[in-house]
Amino acid sequence: MINSNIFKNLKNDIPASIVVFFVALPLCLGIALASGAPLFSGLIAGIVGGILVGVLSGSQVGVSGPAAGLAAIVLTAIGSLGGFENFLLAVVLGGVIQMVFGFLKAGVIGYYFPSSVIKGMLTGIGIIIILKQIPHFFGYDSAPEGSFAFFQVDGDTTFSGILNAVNSISVGPTIIAIIALVILVLWSNVLSSKGKIFTLIQGPLVAVAVGILYFVSTKASDVFGISGEHLVSVPIPDSFDMFLGQFSTPNFSEILNPAIWITAFTIALVASLETLLCAEATDKLDPQKRVTPTNKELLAQGAGNIVSGLIGGLPVTQVIVRSSANIQSGGKTKMAAIIHGFLLLISVVAIPTLLNKIPLSVLASILLIVGYKLAKPALFKQMYLLGWKQFVPFIVTVLGIVFTDLLVGIALGLAVGVVVILIKSYQNSHFLHIEDKSNGLVKVKMTLAEEVTFFNKGAILKELDALPANSSLELDVTKTRFLDNDIIEILEDFQEKAQNRNINIKLISEQGEIENPESFIKFFTLRPKKVS
C-alpha cells in the first residue's frame, strides 16, 4: 500500500504525472478506438490503471492503463462474444485468473527473458512510437493513437501511413507541432538548467498550453487553423446522468459460456506477459535500479482488471510508453502514476471541453521525444560491440516489433535468443586437446563440461567420428555433474567403433582411471552421486 515516504518526492512526481497524463490521454482514447470499444472505456482503464493499480503495485515507476498489444484481441472478442457487456465479463474473469497466477508465483517467468530481448523491446517501441507519431505530427490522423501494429486499422502500414502524411500535410497542425517540439527540446536541454521554475513547470505542459492558445487564436483561419479531427476527442456528456450512462456492467448471465472463459484466459495470459516484460524493462530504465516484485504486480493487475471490467473499462496492463515517460520526466515513486490517474479522472469530469482543444500534433511532439530517448542510436553501437550473441536477438526483436507488433517481436527475439543458447551449448560441451606423439600415435584428451545434455550430441559425435584409427582417447569426466543418457549412449556406441579402429580409450573420473571400460552405461548408472 502507500508508504508515507513516497510523499517526500512530490516535487518530482507531480511534474512527471502531468507529462504522463498528456501521454496517456490520447493513448487511452486511441486504443479504445482501435479496439472497437466505446472511447470512455479507454479512459476508465487509464483511471483504474493509474489509481488502483498504482496503489497496489510494487513498482515505483511503472504506469498501467489500456495496452495497444491487446487491441486486436479486444476488437475480435467484442464481435465474437456478442457484445461489449459480454466482453466485460471476460475482462473481470481475466483479472481473477491473473490473481490466481500471482498466488501461484507465476511472476517468476518475467526473469527468464534475456537482457538483449528486453533492450530490443525498449528500442523497438521507441522506433515504433517515432514512426507512428510522424503522421500525427503532420496532421494526418487517419490511424488512431495507440495503434502500434505494422498493419493499421485504416488499411495502411506504418510506412505507407508516413508517405501519405508527407503528401497530405496540414499546415496548422504541423506549425504548432514544430513550435511544440522546439519548446520541448529548448526546455530539456537549455532552460531546465537556468532556474528552478523550469524544473517545476514541465516543458510538455507549456507545449500543450501553447497548442491550446494556437488553436483558439487561429480558429477563424482556413489556412492556419486546426479542424476538429486533429484535436483530442474526449466524450462530453450533456448531463450528470449521461455521464453515468457511459459506464457499463458485465453480463454475468453468460458466465458459463466457454467462449467467455477462453477469452478471459487469453486476456489474462497476454496481459500478464506484457506486464512482466514491461516491469523488467522499467526496472532497467529506473535510475535507482529498484526491482519490481512480479507476483505482487500480477495481483495488482488482476485487481485492476476486475474493477475495470466491472465498471465498463478495457483490460489494463503495465505499459512501457507511459512508464518510460514517467522515468524520463523524473518520476521517483508510485505517486506519479497515482496522480496521473486522478488527473485523468478530474479532467474528464471537469474540463472535457478544454481537453478537446489540445491538438494531436502537439501530443505527437511529446511522444517523439519519448521515442527518441528509448531508441538512441548509441544503443545500437553498444549492443553491436557486445558481440553477435547479444546483437542478433536485440536486432531481431527490434525489427520484429517494427514490422509486426510487440508480442510477436518479443517472441521472435526470444526464439533467436534460445537458438543462440543452443549454439553456445553446442560449442561449450567439451574441451579438446590433441597431441601428436613422435611415433605418429595421436593422443586426444576430451574434457566434458559440468553439464552435458542432448543439445551437445552433435558436437561430441562429430569429434568422436573424427578420431583417426590407431589413436588414443582420454575421456575426462572429473568435473561432469550431469551427463544426459543420450551422451552415454553415444559413448557406448563409440566403444564398439573404437575396437574396430584400434582406438584405445581411457576414462578419467573422480573414482580413478579405467582403461577401455567394459560398459559406459554400467559405469555411469552405478555412480549416480557423481554423475547422474
Neighbours of 84 (CB within 10 A): 18
Question: What residues contact 222, with CB distance under 8 A and at least 6 apart?
Answer: none
Q: Which amino acid is at 394?
A: F
What is the model's pLDDT at position 532? 46
Question: What three-state secondary structure class fits 211?
Answer: helix
Phi, psi for residue 435 in degrees, rounded to 5: -130, 125
The candidate with the shortest Cα–Cα distance to 373, out of 127, 73, 27, is 127
Provide the CB-side half-sphere exposure for 247 (13 A, CA): 12
> What's the CA gap between 440 and 442, in Å, rounded?
6
* Phi and psi angles of residue 52, each rounded to the nearest 5 degrees, phi first: -70, -55
Residue 47's pLDDT is: 97
The pLDDT score that the predictor gives to residue 175 is 96
Radius of gyration of the chain (CA): 29
Query: What DSSP string runs through 438-460?
Result: TTS-EEEEEEE-SEE-GGGHHHH
The region that residue 307 occupies, defined by phi over 0 for left and psi between -120 and 50 for alpha, beta otherwise, is alpha
Q: Which residues of the chain have pLDDT under 70?
A: 1-6, 146-147, 154, 425-440, 526-532
Domain ranges of the chain: 10-139+154-403, 430-525
- CATH class, domain 430-525, is alpha beta
| Closest residue by Cα to residue 495 from 468, 464, 525 | 464
Candidates 54, 140, 131, 58; CA nearest to 359 is: 140
Are residues 485 and 455 in contact, defined by beta-carbon separation less than 8 angstroms?
Answer: no
Q: Which of 50, 21, 4, 10 is nearest to 325 (CA)?
A: 21
CB contact at 8 A, 360 and 172: no
Measuring CA to CA, which residue among 492, 441, 433, 485 is closest to residue 463? 433
Place of cell 537482457: 115
> What single string gives the DSSP state of each residue in 339-372?
HHHHHHHHHHHH-HHHHTTSBHHHHHHHHHHHHH
3-state helix, strand, coil in the chain (%, to 5): 65, 10, 25
- Long-range contacts of the stretch 6-13 (C-beta < 8 A, 24+): 6/60, 6/332, 6/333, 6/334, 6/335, 7/335, 9/332, 9/333, 9/335, 10/335, 11/200, 12/330, 12/331, 12/332, 12/336, 13/331, 13/332, 13/333, 13/335, 13/336, 13/339
For the stretch 74-96, pLDDT in tens is 988 998 998 999 999 999 999 99
The answer to whether the predicted template modeling score (pTM) of the entire model surpasses 0.85 is no
Residue 243 CB burial class (10 angstroms; 0-12, 13-18, ≥19): middle
Looking at residue 531, its pLDDT comes to: 47
| Sheet strand arrangement including 472-476 | 430-436, 442-448, 472-476, 504-509, 512-515
**Separation of CA 291 from chain center:** 16
Residue type, 218: T
Q: Are 126 and 372 in contact (CB under 8 A)?
A: yes
For 468-513, the three-class secondary structure string (H helix, E strand, C coil) is CCCCEEEEECCCCCEECHHHHHHHHHHHHHHHHCCCEEEEEECCEE
| Grid coordinates of 328 | 524520463
- Which whole-number Å values give the CA distances from 472 to 269, 431, 469, 487, in the listed order? 55, 16, 9, 20
Residue 475 CA to its chain's centroid (Å)? 45
DSSP bridge partners of 445: 433, 474
Q: Which three cell numbers stand for residue 487?
A: 551422451
d(CA 178, CA 365): 8
